[in-house]
Amino acid sequence: MTFDFDVVIIGAGAAGLMCAIEAGKRGRRVLVLDHAKKLAEKIRISGGGRCNFTNLHTDAEMFLSQNRHFCKSALKQYSQHDFINLLSSHKIAFHEKKLGQLFCDGSSQDIITMLQTECAAAHVSIRLEQHIDDISRHDNCHNSGFVVQGNFPPIHAESVVIATGGLSIPKIGASGFGYKIAEKFGLSLVDTQPGLVPLTFDADMLTRCKGLSGLSVEARVLCQRTGFAEGLLFTHRGLSGPSILQISSYWDAGLPITVDLVPGTDMAAFLKASKRQTPKQDVRTCLGTYLPKRLAADICEQAGMASSLTAHNDNSLHQLGTAVNSWQLVPAGTEGYRTAEVTIGGVDTAGLSSTTMQAQNVPGLFFIGEVVDVTGHLGGFNFQWAWSSGYVAGQFA
């Protein structure tokens, strides 16, 4: 039969646009459909408007998945260095913030403009505000292409790529449409949950957080055997900051987390040594050597230790130091998909080819980006997965 397009890509985000560019370069007639009014809104709002577009240290260890090896092929086929070279060819200035995180010197719009330019050069068609109702096999025959239906005349395509993202940040249009299509074509799903998301707490802890709102410290946060040493932020809704967002991807309901507010310093030993050297020093002042004054005062209030060091025996000081280095907390939950940066879980990689991103049992159907059960750490890794998986699908769709 005659197809309207060789490839129809559902989703005009990072993965979808990268796939469109690569498929277009192969001479494929490519159409990108998206229900949003604006192109690549998640790119636009990311990184405080400067887009943390990749990370110099990208490798498979930075990703969560039921199959930790699945992402290796795509990351090898299109690495962070390949994307950096693309930016350089468009003369987009960027800088490393920390821990290998790369941001635009200008704004996220530079990335979007680059992708639009590449799409135009590859003769890719992009249609926004397109609401898709269903995707089906043409005439229900195996290997005969697909029909995409929505608020437009039916579109016939040889291949379809699902790049619809996950459930995170629904205010910019996130939905579970990609999961619905996967299930329709017989692919399994890994249970989803919000990832890279602030944690919430019970009423007592929330009252403490509100009183400390705006304070940040460099902390190490652990859950079971996984830990991250980055910034921690107290907010009026709970705890946030990079270390909390990172650990949220490993946290399950009911599990405790441990917070070291002064990593690298034995606070029990420091307090006892300070008692010998400056016995009349207030405990709060002593803790304030390493912690913000408000936080030091709060910790002392919780411990009932607001007087001088000499008023407390070494055992009490040891317990206070332990409370600083090993603060035990049980989160009540997370802020959910509303503020989550990513969705953990998704289309089970067992049903996909790691070298092509094509569904094993549905020729011509591809899944890329966040809709797949591959989730990166904070710091540009999820964008790199979008570029890499989109690139790979673009070679075969």
pLDDT in tens, 274-326: 999 999 999 999 999 999 999 999 999 999 998 999 999 999 999 999 999 99
pLDDT of residue 1: 65
pLDDT of residue 58: 98
Do residues 299 and 385 both lie within one domain? Answer: no
Host domain of residue 387: 5-194+337-396
pLDDT of residue 141: 54
The 3 state secondary structure assigned to 254-274 is: CCCEEEECCCCCCHHHHHHHH
Q: Which residue has the tokens 């890994």?
A: 190
Do residues 11 and 102 both lie within one domain? Answer: yes
Do residues 310 and 350 both lie within one domain? Answer: no
313, 334, 355: which is the final residue of a domain? 334
Give the number of other CB atoms < 10 A from CB of residue 207: 11
Do residues 257 and 386 both lie within one domain? Answer: no
Instruction: Show the low-confidence residues of the chain (pLDDT under 70).
Output: 1, 139-143
- The domain that holds 239 is classified in CATH as 2.40.30.10
Q: With b meaning 16 or more CB within 10 Å and e meaning fewer, what string describes 87-107?
A: beeeebebeeeeebbbbbeeb
pLDDT of residue 2: 82
pLDDT tens digits, 160-197? 999 999 999 998 989 999 999 999 999 999 999 999 99
Do residues 222 and 276 both lie within one domain? Answer: yes
Q: How many domains does the chain have?
A: 2
Cβ burial, residue 277 (10 Å; 0-12/13-18/19+): exposed
pLDDT of residue 350: 98
Q: With b meaning 16 or more CB within 10 Å and e meaning fewer, what string describes 235-271?
A: bebbbbbbbbbbbbbbbeeeeebbbbbbeeeebbebb
Dihedral angle of Cα 382, 387, 389, 390, to the nearest 10 degrees: 130
User: Is the Cα torsion angle 124, 129, 130, 131 positive or negative in sign?
Assistant: positive
Do residues 303 and 185 both lie within one domain? Answer: no
pLDDT of residue 75: 98
Termini Cα distance of the chain: 18
What's the token pair of residue 126? 């992009």
- The domain that holds 379 is classified in CATH as 3.50.50.60
Distance, in Å, from the CA atom of 76 to the CA atom of 94, rounded to the nearest integer, reads: 23
Type of residue numbered 175: S
The interaxial angle of helices 80-89 and 381-396, nearest 10 deg, is 90
- The pTM (predicted TM-score) of the whole model is 0.95
Residues 6+ apart with CB under 8 A from 34: 10, 11, 12, 13, 16, 126, 127, 128, 129, 130
According to DSSP, the β-strands at 30-33 and 5-10 are parallel
pLDDT of residue 139: 64
314, 334, 354: which is the final residue of a domain? 334
